[in-house]
Amino acid sequence: MARIYILFIFLGFFSCKNNKTQEKSIEPQISEVISENYELYKPLKQAKAVLILFGGYPENIEDIKREFKILEVSKENDIAVLYLNYNKKLWLEENEKHLLAEMLQEIIKENKLPNDAIFIGGFSSGGVVSLSISNYILSMDQFNINPKGVFIIDSPIDLAALYYSSEKNIERDFSKTAIQESNWIIKTLENAFGNPNDSLSNYENKSLFTYKSNHTLNLQNLKNTKIRLYTEPDTIWWKKNRMAGFDQTNAYYIKNLEVSLKEQKFKNVEYIATNNKGYRANGERHPHSWSIVDKKDLINWILEK
């Protein structure tokens, strides 16, 4: 059962210039709901919106909070933030989508959050989860929650492209980190779907986007949903650190997804390419980072009518 804490946070007193009166300035008051699977931070008054966040493949809630300090600006604008300990997913099976959707609906209902102002986003594989679950929820009448907006942060949206890129990394034999990750990716994808050269339909069935065949069927329920696609296409960094070409980066496929969706008349798709904003919390330069998102601009996007 979740443990609930009410936090009352006060600033000091500030006096007027003439020192005749004193005014008490109070920070937004929030409540915390802490459980094994999620953490929810919500205003004591009715929230204007709900921001649901999914971390990258190995990330838990503490990792998200460390890398993406969105909570303060969210509190200032009466936006509830829901962090999920839901990770290690490059794709979602149908039963996983259903269970996750049920959990989100239960959290929103129990905490009396607005079900018509839901925004879902995530970093890396967490962005894959965000798009997948948003598309699924909107396809099912039984879920009384409405994702109004969804965003990804440099996510690996094309599983077949991920396979091919991993093959190139292994053949190139340049970065030990890239080789280890690529061997794991190929093994994982082959066990699940086979080789994309002769089993492309298996990849299309689970992938958000398949560039090779321009397959976007798994996003079709998002045509009227606001979508943001964040990425930092730093070709110099990837060449120097991984010897990877632009066509091996997430940015390449995210850009092509934007083009494809706009050609299909998706109503509100934004491709946001940043420059030199990718840094980890420890100061490490890396274009594949939460930090490429302008937090205040994201909040404005959530609040806009």
Residues 6+ positions from 72 with CB-CB distance below 8 Å: none
* CB of 263 closer than 8 Å to CB of 111: no
- Across 4-30, average pLDDT: 41
pLDDT score of 104 more than 50: yes
Q: By three-state DSSP, how is residue 295 classified?
A: helix
3-state DSSP call for residue 210?
strand
The dihedral built from the CA positions of residue 150, 151, 155 and 158, taken in this order, carries a sign that is positive
pLDDT digits 0-9 by tens, 38-79: 999 999 999 999 999 999 999 999 999 999 999 999 999 999
**112: phi > 0 → left, psi -120 to 50 → alpha, else beta; which?**
left
Q: What's the predicted TM-score (pTM) here?
A: 0.90
For residue 32, give every residue at least 6 positions away whose Cβ sits within 8 Å of its Cβ, in sequence order, or none: 4, 5, 6, 7, 39, 40, 41
pLDDT (tens digit per residue) in 183-214:
999 999 999 999 999 999 999 999 999 999 99
Q: How many Cα atoms within 13 Å fall on the side-chain side of residue 232?
A: 22
- pLDDT tops 60 at residue 16: no
Structure tokens belonging to residue 112? 């009396």
The angle, 0 to 180 degrees and rounded to 10, between the axes of the packed helices 176-193 and 159-172 is 140
Cα separation, 115 vs 119, in Å, equals 10
What are the Cα distances from residue 169, in Å, to 93, 181, 196? Answer: 28, 9, 17
CA-CA-CA-CA torsion sign (267, 127, 65, 79): positive
Tens of pLDDT along 259-302? 999 999 999 999 999 999 999 999 999 999 999 999 999 999 99
> Torsion angle of alpha carbons 154, 62, 293, 125, nearest 10°?
20
Going by their DSSP bridges, the two strands 226-231 and 269-273 should be labelled as parallel
pLDDT band at 181 (very low <50, low <70, confident <90, very high): very high
